[in-house]
Amino acid sequence: MRGVILQKIKYIGKRIRKMSIQLFKRDENTDADLKEYEKNLFRHRLRNLALGAGLFGVVILCGFLLWKSVENRTYDNYEVVKSYERTDTMTTQYTEFLKYVLKYSKDGISCVDHNNNPIWSQTYNMQNPIIHVRQNSVAVAEENGTEALIFDASGIQGTIQTRLPIRQISVSSQGVLAALLEDGDVMRLKLYDKKGKELVDAKFELQDVGYPLRMSLSADATKLAVAFLQVQDGSIGTCLAFYNFSSVGENQEDRLVASKILKGVVMPKIEYMDSTHCFALGTNQLLLYEGAQIPELKKEIELEKEVISVFHSERYIGLVMEGEEQRYCLQVYDLQGSLQFTTEFDMDYRVLKFSGDHILIYNEFECMMINHNGKIFFTGTFEESISNLYTQSGNNRFIVMHASRTDQIKLK
């Protein structure tokens, strides 16, 4: 009986071992199948990823080629999309402001949209109005008069009356106005907030610092740059002076935080392009300054030829000089003083300006349009004289103001 039981136990053990081996082999087969499945799944996902990346690359390439085709496209004609009569006078002047156009004359100023719809208007009596636009603010004053007005996109914000005649004005993006006033042998600088409250009253003794050729207030209203013409021992020179009206300039005499004397050089142009970048221009020299509080000279560019014209935006400086192959040579620099492009042209011009992403050059009847890469993409002639020209939208829509009407045009 005992032997039978032992045989049964041995038989059961053999069966268990046999089943274990089969189960182990089955697990091995299962692992192999799972590994093969995972490998195939990985390959599938990799193929899909590669396909997606390829399609994405094709889309990017097509977009880039489309963008380049638009960038490099030229136009030789135009069509008038919309036209309406002008109601202002022949002496009205224009300037761009945000997405609007400002019309101003000796009788008043108005702001209109691209369809000539009025946004706001203000009457005044100024025989020789001067205007300055900085981002969200506009200031207009009577040169040699005693009145100044400050505006934003919603209309008038403040009125300023001075005792002394106004020689120059400069406005910040918040509406702070810097006014240079003449007081005999002294030039007074006054800063006002947009409601007309006086913030700063300073003076420049002409015999000490010279005559101020140009001043410019920074966009944040904390800094002021002035170019003084100096005559010493029969020779002329320029003093570039930088003032700070924040806490940084409190401990400095007259708030003067930086200056540079240029002997034998006249620099009639100095401009803050934003809150930190400023440039000064002489006949053959371009100086670029940068500084959130105290401006530092970052780059000095010696120009090979005399500058005929200068214009600028918040990002670029445009200089026109005599050309090599054509009559004029246009050079555009960025805020760091890097030359972006050089383009020559032969058209006589009355106005050069940055408008949108373009440079617009025009005279009484002719116009030329240049993109930000320096490519001339349109030249044209109008039958009626051009009072003003500016970009409406995109690369091919513009507003042309003539003597009797305003046209919206589309290049083609």
Burial class (CB in 10 A: 0-12, 13-18, 19+), 46: exposed
CATH number at residue 399: 2.40.10.360
pLDDT class of 33 with cuts at 50, 70, 90: low
Domain assignment present for 411: yes
pLDDT higher at 408 or 66? 408
**For residue range 259-269, what is the model confidence (pLDDT) as tens digits?**
999 999 999 99
The total number of structural domains in the chain stands at: 1
Checking if the pLDDT of 22 tops 60, the result is no
Domain assignment present for 326: yes
* Ramachandran area for residue 59 (φ above 0: left; ψ -120 to 50: alpha; else beta): alpha
**For residue range 334-371, what is the model confidence (pLDDT) as tens digits?**
999 999 999 999 999 999 999 999 999 999 999 999 99
Domain assignment present for 124: no
Checking if the pLDDT of 89 tops 60, the result is yes
Query: What is the mean pLDDT of the segment spanning 118-125?
Result: 96
Domain assignment present for 352: yes
**For residue range 288-325, what is the model confidence (pLDDT) as tens digits?**
999 999 999 999 999 999 999 999 999 999 999 999 99
Nearest to 240 by CA among 201, 295, 164: 295
Which residues touch 213 (CB under 8 Å, ≥6 apart)?
A: 227, 228, 229, 238, 266, 267, 268, 270
Domain assignment present for 34: no
Distance between CA 101 and CA 103 in Å, rounded?
A: 7
Domain assignment present for 390: yes
Question: What one-character DSSP code corresponds to residue 75?
Answer: B
Q: Can you tell me whether residue 250 is helix, strand or coil?
A: coil
Domain span holding position 389:
307-412
Tokens of 118: 């009025």
Distance between CA 411 and CA 371 in Å, rounded?
A: 14
Domain assignment present for 70: no
Checking if the pLDDT of 11 tops 60, the result is no
Domain assignment present for 61: no
pLDDT class of 47 with cuts at 50, 70, 90: confident
